[in-house]
Chains A and B, each alone.
Chain A
Amino acid sequence: DQQVKQNSPSLSVQEGRISILNCDYTNSMFDYFLWYKKYPAEGPTFLISISSIKDKNEDGRFTVFLNKSAKHLSLHIVPSQPGDSAVYFCAASAKDTGRRALTFGSGTRLQVQP
Chain B
Amino acid sequence: DTGVSQNPRHKITKRGQNVTFRCDPISEHNRLYWYRQTLGQGPEFLTYFQNEAQLEKSRLLSDRFSAERPKGSFSTLEIQRTEQGDSAMYLCASSLRDNLNTEAFFGQGTRLTVV
B42 touches A46 (CB 8 A): no
Range class of the A interface residue count: 20 to 34
B48 to nearest A CB, angstroms?
5
Question: Could you list which residues of chain A lie within 8 angstroms of chain B, going by C-beta atoms?
Answer: 4, 6, 32, 34, 36, 41-46, 49, 51, 89, 91, 95, 98-107
- 6 nearest A-B residue pairs (beta carbon): A104-B42, A43-B106, A101-B45, A46-B103, A100-B48, A100-B56
Residues of chain A lying within 8 A (CB to CB) of residue B6 = 43
B44 touches A104 (CB 8 A): yes
Residues of chain A lying within 8 A (CB to CB) of residue B55 = 100
Question: Count of B residues near A, CB < 8 Å?
Answer: 25
A91 touches B42 (CB 8 A): yes
Which of A36, A43, A98, A105 has most B Cβ within 10 Å?
A: A43
A49 touches B40 (CB 8 A): no
Residues of chain B lying within 8 A (CB to CB) of residue A106 = 40-42
B83-95 vs A, CB cutoff 8 Å, 1 = contact: the mask equals: 0000000010100
12 sample A-B contacts, Cβ–Cβ < 8 Å, listed by A number: A42-B108, A42-B109, A43-B106, A43-B107, A49-B103, A95-B100, A98-B100, A100-B55, A101-B45, A101-B58, A102-B104, A107-B40
Residues of chain B lying within 8 A (CB to CB) of residue A46 = 103-105
User: Besides A32-B101, A43-B91, A43-B107, 5 other CB < 8 A contacts?
Assistant: A44-B91, A46-B105, A89-B42, A100-B48, A102-B43
